[in-house]
Amino acid sequence: MSRASRRRSGLPLTWRVAVLAGAATTLLAGLTLLVSYVIVRNGMYEDLRRSLREDAAMLASVYATGEGSAGGSLSVPTGGVVLQVYGPVAQLLAASRPEWETSQAAIPPDVIIGAGLVPTLWSGQLLGKPVEAALAPFAVGVVAVVADPAYIQDTLTSLSRTLLVVAGILVVLSLLVGYLVAAASLRPVTRLARRVSRLDPDKLEPLGYDGPRDEVARLAETVNDLLRRLAQARDAQRTFLAETSHELRTPLTSLRGFLDRAARHAGPAAAEDIDDARRVAGTMARLVEDLLQLSRGELVREPNPHLVELLQDVVRPVAAEFPGVRVEGGPPALVLGDPLRLRQLVRNLLANAVRAARTPAGVVVRLGVRDGGAAVLEVEDDGPGIPPETQARIFEKFYKGAGGGSGLGLAIARQVAHHHDGTLTVESRPGRTVFTLVLPLVQEEEEEPLAAAEKR
């Protein structure tokens, strides 16, 4: 796949804006989750440590005075606090629970010694689990209030899950809202693009835009400026073609007159060469006429309708101009059309095929009738084929493929086909290229009035 194809198959701009909005919301939600987690975590640990500090100070006061009871007035928010009492040399003397009186449950001595001088907060591990402790000195030692902060982690885990769900909902909502906002914002651009797509190449009129003076207005001005320049270039091209065609018509008319006079006076030996020259001059005259009509924007106009038998009136006479081309005839195919234009169509197809084929013998013309009342004319050659990316453009005016030419032959052929209510298509691969012309057959009820009109 080419780079241009990959670009064409990408997401629409509306969805790209919605995805960007979703990505931005996801980033903000993630940052909000992280900041909220840190704030709540720090706040909960700060509350726990403050409560432990207050309880430790109260217990130290109780032990110092020997008055009151500490059991019912602790402010730590869990019921899992443990009280420990250490002696003057940092030895663990007693604890509120038996398992906390062992050496594995003792706070390191250096911490106890330091707490004997000033109240201290300590975080560490006792009995294989993390704890938070507040230590306060009293007359004969140090009292410690120890708490398990596991409930904080459980609360933070629950909070994280809630925030993740909220963040997911925000991302989905941001995609929806982002799409709606992007669609509303890009609607003027979409309308502008729709107007541009409906422009007729022969009528490049400025686009009307009555919106605010914003980026879309500047885009409309830029497109209108481009349309003005294209219209000027088109008019200049038509003027050039008209003037050139007009200048060529006079010498070609004189040339054909000289050839006609030479044919009357020349002997049999020169008759064939003069006929060839007259045929070439006629082809040039038709090309000049096509250029003139193209400059007027009417390449094919006002055909002269006749009952035309395609094989005898069109295909065989034109194929005779290209020695070596094979004709495979079929049943009679009677159509309504301009024989001169239909010959021009077939002549252009054959000239294109002969240029592409290895030899003229590699070109075959087939004529058949399709069910449903249509004549099918195929022009096949054994040339190198037409690349897929080129096939869509070969019928454009002035488009020249690898085989050269004027760039008008196939454009003229397709316009002639359309003017006769027919179609002209191409299928190509290396070694086989087929141009298929489909024309409606004359129905029986149409044939008699037309034949009578031709006799009159």
The pLDDT tens digits of the residues spanning 205-254 come to 787 777 777 777 888 888 888 888 888 887 777 777 777 777 777 787 88
Question: 366 and 240 in one domain?
Answer: no
Question: 392 and 350 in one domain?
Answer: yes
Coil, strand or helix: which one is 326?
strand
Last residue of a domain, one of 232, 267, 295: 295
Q: Are strands 326-328 and 306-309 parallel, antiparallel or unpaired?
A: unpaired
CB 114 within 8 A of CB 54: no
45 belongs to a structural domain: no
Determine the Cα–Cα distance for residues 456 and 454; give it in Å rounded to an integer: 5
Burial 321-340 (b: 16+ CB within 10 A, else e): beeebeeeeeeebbbbbbbe
Question: 263 and 375 in one domain?
Answer: no
Determine the Cα–Cα distance for residues 355 and 414; give it in Å rounded to an integer: 18
Q: Which residues contact 248 (CB under 8 A, 6 or more apart)?
A: 284, 288
Q: Which residues contact 403 (CB under 8 A, 6 or more apart)?
A: 352, 355, 356, 383
Nearest CA among 368, 363, 381, 379 for reference residue 326: 363
CATH number reported for the structural domain that contains residue 236 in this entry: 1.10.287.130
Determine the Cα–Cα distance for residues 136 and 53; give it in Å rounded to an integer: 8
CB 409 within 8 A of CB 348: yes
Determine the Cα–Cα distance for residues 307 and 305; give it in Å rounded to an integer: 7
Determine the Cα–Cα distance for residues 380 and 429; give it in Å rounded to an integer: 11
Nearest CA among 54, 94, 86 for reference residue 70: 54
Determine the Cα–Cα distance for residues 289 and 22; give it in Å rounded to an integer: 61
CB 423 within 8 A of CB 417: yes
353 belongs to a structural domain: yes
Determine the Cα–Cα distance for residues 151 and 147; give it in Å rounded to an integer: 10
* Residues 201, 205, 211: CA angle, nearest 5 degrees: 130
Tens-of-pLDDT digits for all 456 residues of the chain?
Answer: 444 444 555 677 778 888 888 788 778 878 888 888 889 889 999 999 999 999 999 888 888 776 544 444 444 444 468 999 999 889 999 998 899 999 899 999 999 999 989 999 999 999 989 999 999 999 889 999 999 998 888 888 888 888 888 878 888 888 888 888 888 877 888 888 888 877 776 677 787 777 777 777 888 888 888 888 888 887 777 777 777 777 777 787 888 787 888 877 777 777 777 877 877 777 777 777 766 666 555 544 555 678 999 999 999 999 998 999 999 987 888 999 988 889 989 998 998 899 888 888 899 999 999 877 899 999 999 989 888 888 878 888 777 666 555 667 788 888 889 888 999 999 999 999 999 999 999 876 555 555 555 555
Last residue of a domain, one of 241, 271, 295: 295
Question: 363 and 445 in one domain?
Answer: yes
pLDDT score recorded for residue 121: 94
Question: 383 and 322 in one domain?
Answer: yes
Q: Which residues contact 361 (CB under 8 A, 6 or more apart)?
A: 324, 325, 326
Instruction: Give the domain extent around 356.
Output: 306-455
How many domains does the chain fold into?
Answer: 2
Determine the Cα–Cα distance for residues 280 and 342; give it in Å rounded to an integer: 18
Question: 355 and 254 in one domain?
Answer: no
Nearest CA among 64, 48, 231 for reference residue 138: 64
Q: Are strands 364-370 and 374-381 parallel, antiparallel or unpaired?
A: antiparallel
Number of H helices, E strands in the chain: 11, 12
DSSP string, 175-193: HHHHHHHHHHHHHHHHHHH
Question: 431 and 345 in one domain?
Answer: yes
The structure's pTM equals 0.47
Question: 227 and 323 in one domain?
Answer: no
DSSP string, 93-157: EEESSGGGGSGGGSPPHHHHHHHTTS-EEEEEEETTEEEEEEEEEETTEEEEEEE-THHHHHHHH
Q: Which two tokens stand for residue 175?
A: 């995609």
142 belongs to a structural domain: no
Question: 356 and 249 in one domain?
Answer: no
Determine the Cα–Cα distance for residues 105 and 84; give it in Å rounded to an integer: 10
Question: 350 and 265 in one domain?
Answer: no
Question: 284 and 333 in one domain?
Answer: no
